[in-house]
Amino acid sequence: MHAETVEEHQFVSLDGYDIPVFSRWSYTTADPYAVTLSFRADRGRWVEWCFARDLLVEGLNGPAGEGDVRIRPDVTAGPDQLMMELESPDGYAIVEFSREGAARFIASTHALVPLGAEGPLVDVDGFIAEITKV
């Protein structure tokens, strides 16, 4: 693991199944506005969801998100659990995870890049050059 990367591993409950799913939160300074939540599907195969770090920060304390990713405290399980709704053309899933683990992960990302300090890390010219290649 590089000094520019943070990972947090935990088990989550996916769609209410009794058997927890191994998950991995990841953050890299190469994409400072985003976090990725990955679920282990099979040995060596992961399903990844990438979304705004701000969404996770906001979801720690209340409902957040209006699109394909929505996060909120789990009112049935108490304030120590968060629920995330993931929606795509391929399906819908509800993920339950530890608020403490998510908060620890976010604190680690802030240690690398504080909120509001992401801009200088983004290579806008390089991004434009990449997307305009034909």
If one compares 76 and 89, the residue with the highest pLDDT of the two is 89
Sign of the Cα torsion 55, 60, 64, 65 reads: positive
Residue 55 has pLDDT above 90, yes or no: yes
Three-state secondary structure call for residue 81: strand
Global confidence as pTM: 0.79
Q: State pLDDT tens for residues 94-123.
A: 888 889 989 999 999 999 898 888 888 887
If one compares 12 and 26, the residue with the highest pLDDT of the two is 26
pLDDT recorded at residue 2:
47
Domains in the chain with CATH codes: 5-132 (2.30.31.20)
Tokens of 89: 């053309």
Nearest to 23 by CA among 41, 35, 3, 6: 41
106: amino acid identity, one letter:
I
Tokens of 129: 């050059």
pLDDT (mean) for 50-71: 93
Answer for the pair 53, 65: CB distance below 8 angstroms, yes or no: no
